[in-house]
Structure 1
């Protein structure tokens, strides 16, 4: 028996990762679905949004602090530069720096021109909620939403829009790391693969549930043929049984991506996230735990980091942070961004 020596986890492999069943591809060639990990050696850009909702119902205290803490952390630990960041907080004096619905649409700026091995970072700290799902891809029947500072007049932003804006445009091998420190945020990025602290996918694996309809839908998505993807996916929904099963199939069929997208969220979709007090400062519990866990040990695997984040929060908070991704991933490799 070969034992792996203790030490840092391995870095992400550089080659294309194939997964799932084989199918007939272009020119009748044997093919599989695939994705590529980012090596995070290209350009780095970040968008950080913190909203305290001054003077509004449900005013928060720690969200602006969260943004500055995360900004400083990724600059010092991961090489992000201030000039390549957009920071939106509701104490900004410049109207362009306020976290309005229109300004949060700078999500488009974040992903514009993205290339393989780039590293993009999105952080949101503020109110989150739920609204009735009309697309059929949510097992609980609700979409997750975030609330801009002007949500009372301009409305919330739904997870479908977040996914369409930030995930779909990305090429294979481009990393997007997202942190949602908000209530009901478990699937706020609408990523279909959610991981347990054992490093396993919580829902049935694509391999186990594969059928030609699902493959057709996912490969249509990969080609950018959204009409084909939804047509195939809706065919799946009609033949599946049970709302949760239907939603899981539809989510994987229309949300799987060859890009390297990772989301850390403060809690399950059914839970709230704490606006907390840690180390004498108002802070979101998830943002605090993320910085604390990585600050103690930068060389952690995804599984180790998820466990560490949960351990930090377990003694004081009921929320359970979630890890999700746009593709099946090896949670034993090193987290980089």
Structure 2
């Protein structure tokens, strides 16, 4: 890359892939549009410690508060435009039950417009469940666990995609950060990137033909479904085991909206609940904010301000992915993942 900060995303629509014949016999090509992030900013921060439950965590509520402060300080979000769901609140509407979580996500994406910037942060338990619609090569969907999952059930990645991604128009940004186990593809986005910024499994021809775009430690945030046993015994590495699943995801999950997901680990890995900067936190949440903080990465604690050495916001997607992984390297086995709803130029400046 040339010296200086990474370039901002272009404003015009981006066409990609082979040209195909549309229903009206006109030549068409898939497209998407980057968000300039100049419109309205809204955020949803979810932190679930599962207080009093057998699988209680320590750092998730801290993560949610830290992320809210980070978004206000570093990216110009307003407190009034950030909804918080944590399981230490007295207001029943603010607890992260399954119903409240789904309602809050729908609030986040409601009336979204091009160049809006939406932010979704989830810190809590994640897991796996049997894939029922054939779009997962491993045979398992990724899930998150609301605080009342034992009564009302988990939320599967297909449902998250349907309520988070599908309603968004071209040019609207949704940035999602999932600090949970098995979260690499938890939004079911079809493009995953290596540390070099390259798409791991591209197949633009298949998408164009369909005309898609018109339409673990003791503190690990682990899989709560004990019947699954060892994750390594369940999940197969992506190596072409199921062409049908791969094609189905590409045919149904590509979007012209500008959706980016930072997952805390690969789908077959766990994410750490740990202690950094003077408080209990999630490793992924800490690393993400640490890398993008411009004046020391201020972390708020009960005993005052803890100053952590931060980096800066002038990073490309590829640089940020490498830097987030570097923060965790050597201390945790998890490898954060970057995925998107369309092919992105990872040399562009990350904005939100």
Aligned residue among 86, 91, 99 for 1:102:
99
Q: Which 10-residue stretch deviates more, 130-139 or 244-253?
A: 244-253
1:215/1:253 contact within 8 Å kept: no
The structure with the largest helix share of the pair is 1
Matched, 1:304 2:319: yes
Matched, 1:323 2:314: no
Secondary structure of the residue aligned to 1:299 is coil
Measured after TM superposition, the shift of residue 26 of structure 1 is 5.3
TM-score scaled by length of structure 2? 0.86
Matched, 1:78 2:69: no
| Gaps in structure 1 of 5+ consecutive residues | 225-240
Question: Aligned-residue CA RMSD in angstroms?
Answer: 1.3
Taking the aligned partners of 2:53 and 2:2, their CA distance within structure 1 comes to 54
2:19/2:208 contact within 8 Å kept: no
Measured after TM superposition, the shift of residue 89 of structure 1 is 0.2
Report what 2:113 is aligned to: 115
Report what 1:12 is aligned to: 9
Distance 1:242 1:198, change over 3 A: closer
Taking the aligned partners of 1:318 and 1:156, their CA distance within structure 2 comes to 25
Secondary structure of the residue aligned to 1:21 is coil
Measured after TM superposition, the shift of residue 222 of structure 1 is 3.3
| Gaps in structure 2 of 5+ consecutive residues | 216-238, 294-310
1:136/1:250 contact within 8 Å kept: yes
1:43/1:118 contact within 8 Å kept: yes
Secondary structure of the residue aligned to 2:187 is coil
Report what 2:145 is aligned to: 147
Secondary structure of the residue aligned to 1:60 is coil
Measured after TM superposition, the shift of residue 215 of structure 1 is 3.2
Aligned residue among 218, 222, 225 for 2:213:
222
Measured after TM superposition, the shift of residue 223 of structure 1 is 3.5
Report what 1:69 is aligned to: 66
Per-residue displacement from partner, 1:206-260 (whole Å, max 9, x unpaired)?
Answer: 23xx24xx4353x2x4344xxxxxxxxxxxxxxxx96432222111111000000
Measured after TM superposition, the shift of residue 327 of structure 1 is 0.2
Report what 1:41 is aligned to: 38
Taking the aligned partners of 1:249 and 1:328, their CA distance within structure 2 comes to 16
Secondary structure of the residue aligned to 1:246 is helix
Report what 1:227 is aligned to: none
Taking the aligned partners of 2:109 and 2:116, their CA distance within structure 1 comes to 10
Superposed counterparts of 1:175-324, under 5 Å: 175-203=173-201, 205-207=202-204, 210-211=205-206, 214-217=207-210, 219=211, 221-224=212-215, 243-295=241-293, 296-324=311-339
TM-score scaled by length of structure 1? 0.90
Per-residue displacement from partner, 1:144-175 (whole Å, max 9, x unpaired)?
Answer: 00000000000000000000001000000000
Taking the aligned partners of 2:158 and 2:339, their CA distance within structure 1 comes to 15
Measured after TM superposition, the shift of residue 16 of structure 1 is 0.4
Taking the aligned partners of 2:168 and 2:189, their CA distance within structure 1 comes to 14
Report what 1:89 is aligned to: 86
1:52/1:90 contact within 8 Å kept: yes
Structure 1 segments of 4+ aligned residues over 6 angstroms from their partners: none
Secondary structure of the residue aligned to 1:253 is helix
Matched, 1:124 2:122: yes
Taking the aligned partners of 1:38 and 1:26, their CA distance within structure 2 comes to 28
Distance 1:123 1:312, change over 3 A: same
